[in-house]
Amino acid sequence: MSDLYRSALSARISKLPMLPPEPDEDDEESEAADSLGSLPPPVAGIGPTTMPGTRAYASAQRKRAPNPELTPLSASAYFAQATQIAVPDSGLDVRAYYTPPRVREGGEPGTVIVCHHGAGQSALTFALAAGEVTELSRGECGVLALDCRGHGKTATTIPRPGPEGGEDFSIETLTSDFVNTLKVLYPDPGAAPSLLLSGHSLGGSVIVRACPLLQDLKYRLAGVAVLDIVEEFTLEALPMMHSLLDARPAGFGSQEEAIEWHLKTNAVRNPLSARVSVPAIIQPAPEGTSPAWIWRTPLRNTAPYWTSWFTSLSKLFLTARTARLLVLAGAERLDRELMIGQMQGKFQLTVVTGVGHMLQEDDPRKLAEVLVEFWRRNERVVPAGVKKVGER
Amino acid sequence: MDQDASGSGGWRFAQCFGDKGDVEDITEADIISAVEFDSTGNYLATGDKGGRVVLFQRNELKKGCEYKFYTEFQSHEPEFDYLKSLEIEEKINKIKWCKRQNAAHFLLSTNDKTIKLWKVFEKSLRVVSETNMHDGQQALAPPMAAQGLKLPRMTPQDQITAAVPRKVYSNAHAYHIHSISVNSDQETYISADDLRVNLWNLEVSDRSFNIVDIKPANMEELTEVITAAEFHPNHCNLFMYSSSKSNMKLADMRESALCDRHAKLFEEEEDPSNRSFFSEIISSISDVKFSHDGRYILSRDYLSLKIWDINMESKPVKTISIHDHLRGKLCDLYENDCIFDKFECTWGGDDKHVLTGSYHNYFRIFDVDDSGDVVLQADKSAFKAKKMGGPLPGNKAGAKNGVRPGGLRENMAMDTLDFNKKILHSSWHPREDTIAIAATNNLFLYSAA
């Protein structure tokens, strides 16, 4: 037959629907799905996993042998020390991971990159990046990562109920927590190392608000780096957060399972980093309940504060009186304010490709390079009397 | 043809043209792609993949059926379409003879894009025999006076057969031409490609009329292509075209200029229980032919031959299975593309028999009226048997080749069919029972006369 007929035929054949894959289940699994287990929490929404009645849900219920390749890793390889800092002004016992900067000749205190994580995350999200920074700067640049209120291993000593009910997660509280912690860590602003504040997602909002407060307290700021957060788009996406949260499983059977879920749903694309950071965002469930591991931070309770977190972020970023850096993941999408600011040269913009929202985890090396370069570029030996950028 | 013990229906191998070598080292250009007897049966034309046309002439001196080589010419050359960056093959797709009107022969040959009208004639070469300087044997003294001048004399020296392209009909088809058919009025002819049928006047090469167009507005929705087209042998206004969707349409040119609306539609309702993934592909009609009296239509689809009465559109008068044992192998045939092979079919000169080819060089001749059928194989074994004076293979008596008793019919259903050896093209002498079979690069002639 002619080529025309053949090509028309193959075009039609390719449009035929695919045969459904052969279900190769064993009988046990399907029986487990049929049996009535304990009533699961309502799982509605458009999530891909764990709808009740699906086999995946049944398997989530069943205990599965943990995947040996995904055992949790300690962050001790990436940070020099982990301490718990009592911050009475905030009523918190803050967990901090710290690599102090190498003291240079002349007693210069050096620089510390202070990292604030995003909502529902923990300080260990910066673990791999911290290790890279230490390596790249040959120890000259220190790294400090904090667990903020209600996250990681930070404990609340004095409960602070919020105006909206539940714990107080308002942006003002988070900012003051951050500032208070630094005050405890570095009581003498003059002797303290210069600080390069770096915040991911919600953390970015915290640091741009903390920046003027710290400068008023006479701390020296090397710069402020906001990671992958743009006000306008985040505010637009807030309504979708609820369905995103609904798609998350209520918990996991083991830490490995949690790590696997994060990798499978591409929340984190770097397996090594997931093994360090994911265990910090889940906690063991109370004895006897299922699933065995639940989320550390019930994000749904913070919903009332979401809008306040990100409002006026762009404005505050552009008016921070220090060197500014914005790192975006994947694509250069700026809102109107940031775009004007960028055209006016008010900040450095870096786009990292091939990474997801957790860019510090997906490509820690790249982020470390960007931060260290930003630090070196803005750190100058300043003769006395000459004001640095933004200094009053 | 009475029932005879040999089982070959009285058909005897007559001749084989070609290099008769092994299958492995065939030159691609030698593969025969078209076979056609002329309207008298005295001349036989074959076209090959290399664009050459070879003509054979009946040897009148011999009593039996014998053909000898007549002439050969290069009909088409490979071309390149610069606009679409496509090669245009020189393979001859069809040859059709025009009826003889004078001493010269006229035939149409076509490749994918261009049709040519060739005039083949005997040309006597004349040479100058006597000039003013030479009288044929010795030199002459040049004449001194005007009266001594004479015209040079020419004498015929040689007769050669010359082939000259009289007309070239080009640039009329966007798709590959697969059929041409000369009208009974001997003035016009049609050429058909996958989506269009054009009407030409033999005298006019720069213009043609489009009479059938089934191209859809959106090529993505293409489901049907035209597979064959032929003029009615007696009525100059009727022609037929078959499609890949297992139907044939008879169109009347008197009705309208564009014959998209058929006068008759020949389609057999498909048995829904037989439907399979391949139903559509195997029901696609590969060739269609009018009988010589114009009362019947012969159609060939992948597995069967169907004889239709021109007056009855609903179902064929007779359905003949050719190689039904292939029905179980359709998957493999789809994989190796053999399911798309276009087999031709032919009527016998007296419309009492039909002929079509199959795989492994088998071909079959069926009786139209009763149930006789003959299976023959166009193979080396045919002429080896002849040399030794023995009967054709397939005979019960001649088990020399280790052929199983029961004949070729059973052999055809063997598992080890060679799908590369297929009889696609054949032609039947219009006046006697002589057939020409194209088997890859060889031309076989069988006769039952």
What are the DSSP calls for B410-423, one per residue? HHHT-S---TTSB-
Residue-wise pLDDT for A46-58, tens only, equals 334 434 434 444 4
| Nearest chain A alpha carbon to B174 | A4
Check: CB of residue B54 under 8 Å from CB of residue B69: yes
Which run of H or E residues covers position B377? strand B373-377
Q: Considering chain A, what is the average pLDDT of its residues?
A: 82
CB-nearest partner of A2 from B178, B223, B281: B178
Do B175 and A1 count as a contact with CB atoms less than 8 A apart?
no
Residue A52: cis peptide before it, omega within 30 degrees of 0: no
Number of Cβ atoms within 10 Å of the Cβ of A306 = 20
- The pLDDT > 90 percentage for chain A reads 40
In a domain, A389, yes or no: no
- The complex's ipTM works out to 0.70
Distance of CA A230 to the CA centre of its chain: 15
State the pLDDT at residue B3. Answer: 40
In a domain, A347, yes or no: yes
The total number of structural domains that make up chain A: 1
> Which residues 238-277 of chain B have a CB within 8 Å of chain A?
244
pLDDT-based confidence at A122, cuts 50/70/90? very high
From the CA of A7, how many Å to the nearest CA of chain B?
A: 10
Answer whether residue A374 shows pLDDT above 60: yes
Question: For A38-67, what is the mean pLDDT?
Answer: 44
State the pLDDT at residue A9. Answer: 81
Q: Which two tokens stand for residue A135?
A: 């390596």
CB-nearest partner of A1 from B195, B222, B284: B284
Q: How many CB pairs under 8 A join A and B?
A: 32
In a domain, A257, yes or no: yes
| Nearest chain B alpha carbon to A11 | B220
Answer whether residue A3 shows pLDDT above 60: yes
**How far is it, in rounded angstroms, from Cα A131 to Cα A153?**
20
Do B222 and A2 count as a contact with CB atoms less than 8 A apart?
no
In a domain, A349, yes or no: yes
Residue-wise pLDDT for A74-116, tens only, equals 888 899 999 999 998 888 899 999 998 887 766 677 889 999 9
Q: Could you confirm whether A357 is annotated as catalytic?
A: yes
- Residue corresponding to tokens 């050719």: B322
From the CA of A25, how many Å to the nearest CA of chain B?
A: 29
Q: Which two tokens stand for residue A168?
A: 């107080």
Residue-wise pLDDT for A162-179, tens only, equals 776 678 888 999 999 999
What type of residue is B139? A
Check: CB of residue B152 under 8 Å from CB of residue B140: no
**How far is it, in rounded angstroms, from Cα B418 to Cα B356?**
17
State the pLDDT at residue B67. Answer: 94
DSSP for B63-120, written as a single string? SS--EEEEEEEE----EEETTTTEEE-----EEEEPPP-SSSEEEEEE-SS-EEEEEE
> Which of A141, A90, A152 shows the shortest CA–CA distance to A118?
A152
CB-nearest partner of A2 from B220, B225, B281: B225
Q: Which two tokens stand for residue B108?
A: 């149409």
Which run of H or E residues covers position B55? strand B52-58
Do A3 and B244 count as a contact with CB atoms less than 8 A apart?
no
In a domain, A391, yes or no: no
B223 to chain A: which residues are within 8 Å by CB? 8, 12
pTM: predicted TM-score of the whole model, two decimal places: 0.55
In a domain, A388, yes or no: no
Angle between helices A202-216 and A171-185 (to 10 degrees): 60
**How far is it, in rounded angstroms, from Cα B121 to Cα B105?**
6
From the CA of A2, how many Å to the nearest CA of chain B?
A: 7
Provide the edge-to-edge strand list for the sheet that holds B373-377: B345-347, B353-357, B362-367, B373-377
Least confident piece of the model among A142-156, A232-246, A267-281, B154-168: A232-246
Do A5 and B194 count as a contact with CB atoms less than 8 A apart?
yes
Residue A105 forms contact with B (CB below 8 Å): no
> Which of B259, B265, B247 shows the shortest CA–CA distance to B196?
B259
B214 to chain A: which residues are within 8 Å by CB? none
CB-nearest partner of B340 from A6, A8, A12: A6
From the CA of B33, how many Å to the nearest CA of chain A?
A: 14
Q: What domain range includes position A181?
A: 4-381
Q: How far apart are the first and last CA of chain A?
A: 84
From the CA of A24, how many Å to the nearest CA of chain B?
A: 26
Q: Which of B214, B244, B287, B338 to mutate to test the interface with A (most CBs of A within 10 A)?
A: B244
Beta partners for B36? B45
**How far is it, in rounded angstroms, from Cα B78 to Cα A266?**
56
Q: A333: domain CATH number? A: 3.40.50.1820
- Per residue of chain B (449 residues), give pLDDT as tens: 344 434 577 888 999 998 876 667 788 899 999 999 999 999 999 999 999 999 999 998 888 889 999 999 999 999 988 888 888 999 999 999 999 999 999 999 999 999 999 999 999 888 888 888 887 778 888 888 888 788 888 888 888 999 999 999 999 999 999 999 999 999 999 999 999 999 999 999 999 999 999 999 988 888 899 999 999 999 999 999 999 999 999 999 998 888 888 899 999 888 777 777 788 889 999 999 999 999 999 999 999 999 999 999 999 999 999 988 888 888 888 888 899 999 999 999 999 999 999 999 999 999 999 888 888 888 877 766 655 544 444 433 333 333 333 456 666 666 678 888 999 999 999 999 999 999 988 999 999 87
Residue B223 forms contact with A (CB below 8 Å): yes
In a domain, A351, yes or no: yes
Give CA angle at B188 (B310, B173), nearest 5°. Answer: 95
Per annotation, catalytic residue among A176, A198, A201, A254: A201
Per annotation, catalytic residue among A116, A151, A200, A357: A357
Q: Could you confirm whether A228 is annotated as catalytic?
A: yes
Q: Which of B222, B278, B285, B342 to mutate to test the interface with A (most CBs of A within 10 A)?
A: B222
Do A1 and B227 count as a contact with CB atoms less than 8 A apart?
yes
Number of Cβ atoms within 10 Å of the Cβ of A148 = 28
pLDDT-based confidence at A390, cuts 50/70/90? low
What type of residue is A199? G
Query: What does residue A356 show for φ and ψ, rounded to 5 degrees?
Result: -95, -160
Check: CB of residue B154 under 8 Å from CB of residue B129: yes
| Nearest chain B alpha carbon to A13 | B277
DSSP for A224-243, written as a single string? EEEES--HHHHHHHHHHHHH
What are the start-end ranges of the E strands in chain A? 81-87, 92-99, 111-116, 141-146, 155-156, 194-200, 221-227, 251-252, 282-284, 293-295, 324-329, 348-352
Residue B80 forms contact with A (CB below 8 Å): no
Residue A11 forms contact with B (CB below 8 Å): yes
**How far is it, in rounded angstroms, from Cα A40 to Cα A256?**
21
Q: Which of B176, B194, B221, B226 to mutate to test the interface with A (most CBs of A within 10 A)?
A: B194
Q: Which two tokens stand for residue B210?
A: 């489009």
CB-nearest partner of A2 from B194, B220, B223: B194
Query: What does residue B271 show for φ and ψ, rounded to 5 degrees?
Result: -75, 110
**How far is it, in rounded angstroms, from Cα B305 to Cα B356?**
8
| Nearest chain A alpha carbon to B219 | A8
Per annotation, catalytic residue among A147, A177, A228, A363: A228
In a domain, A392, yes or no: no
Provide the edge-to-edge strand list for the sheet that holds B247-252: B226-231, B238-243, B247-252, B264-267
Do A4 and B342 count as a contact with CB atoms less than 8 A apart?
no
Residue B301 forms contact with A (CB below 8 Å): no
Question: For A345-354, what is the mean pLDDT?
Answer: 92
pLDDT-based confidence at A117, cuts 50/70/90? very high
